[in-house]
Amino acid sequence: MTQDELKKLVAQAAIDYVVPDTIIGVGTGSTANFFIDELAKIKHTIEGTVASSEASAARLKQHGIPVLDLNSVSEISVYIDGADEADPGLHLTKGGGGALTREKIVLAVAKQFVCIADESKKVAHLGKFPLPIEVIPMARSYVAREIVKRFGGEPVLREGFTTDNGNIILDVHGLTITDPVGLETELNQIVGVVTNGLFARRKADIFLCGGKNGVETLLAT
Ligand SMILES: O=C[C@H](O)[C@H](O)[C@H](O)COP(=O)(O)O
């Protein structure tokens, strides 16, 4: 099976976690796109969605799926999204598509987080995938220096990219991540950091992992 076929398989499996007559949180990226296409088939069973990016909102609307403003929503039943890396404890690295901040916000409102990805995203330890950090543009150099000083690694500006919030992304290469919860918290203490791509304090509850033997359902430990 190709990687796209595996993404489609997990997107289809995620439909089982869509709670009828509720609002669904929708992630961003190629795997989330497959989920949006599957969600379109059952759009009449849900109240609506909240999107974690302009791109996902546009795709949802193309399918005629209602997209709500998060400020008009007090409860999201489930948040469904992909990841760049997932460790055995279901701590994740996200933000390869630059949507990390809105993803974290939508997730914060959701009761359950179902992560969908192909098996290439399953790792023993987070850190091989460069850690995305959304930064207020004027703080770029300061934040980069602070990261090197406090944590090591090599922050690289994502050239030509602006987030939906008008900010920049620093991708930090070569970080040793032994304590994802601690690192997530500490990185957010640097002034100018909007958020970082570690989803560890709030991690996935369920990981639907697509591999050659089908979809494996992993639960957070
Ligand atoms: O900002 C993007 C998101 O965090 C994505 O969910 C993540 O990068 C995974 O994307 P994909 O499904 O395309 O591998």
Domains of the chain: which residue ranges? Answer: 3-122+201-219, 131-196
Ligand 1 centroid to 20 CA: how many Å? 25
Tens digit of pLDDT at every position of the chain (221 positions): 999 999 999 999 999 999 999 999 999 999 999 999 999 999 999 999 999 999 999 999 999 999 999 999 999 999 999 999 999 999 999 999 999 999 999 999 999 999 999 999 999 999 999 999 999 999 999 999 999 999 999 999 999 999 999 999 999 999 999 999 999 999 999 999 999 999 999 999 999 999 999 999 999 87
What is the best residue among 9, 84, 93 to mutate for testing ligand 1's pocket, by most ligand atoms within 8 Å of CB?
84
Report, in angstroms and rounded to the nearest whole number, the Rg of the chain calculated over CA atoms. 17
- 159 flagged as catalytic: no
What would the CATH number be for the domain defined by 131-196? 3.30.70.260
Ligand 1 nearest atom to the CA of residue 33, by list position: 12
pLDDT of 220:
84
Residue of 103, 134, 146, 184 marked active site:
103
The whole-angstrom separation of Cα 102 and Cα 81 is 12
Token pair for residue 115? 């992560």
* Residue 25 marked in a binding site: no
Residue 28 labelled as part of a binding site: yes
83 CA to centre of ligand 1 in angstroms: 5
The domain defined by 3-122+201-219 folds into Rossmann fold (3.40.50)
Provide the edge-to-edge strand list for the sheet that holds 193-196.
154-157, 168-173, 131-135, 193-196
Q: Ligand 1, atom 2: nearest CA belongs to which residue?
A: 97
* Ligand 1 contact via 29 beta carbon (within 6 Å): yes
How far, in Å, is the centroid of ligand 1 from the Cα of 100? 9
Strands 198-199 and 193-196: unpaired
Q: Is 85 in the pocket of ligand 1 (CB under 6 A)?
A: no
Bridge partner residues of 67 (DSSP)? 49
Does pTM top 0.90 for this prediction? yes
CA distances from 24 to 76, 95, 158, 203 (A): 6, 20, 30, 17
**Which stretches within the chain are classed as H helix?**
3-14, 30-40, 54-62, 100-109, 140-151, 180-187
3-122+201-219 and 131-196, same CATH topology: no
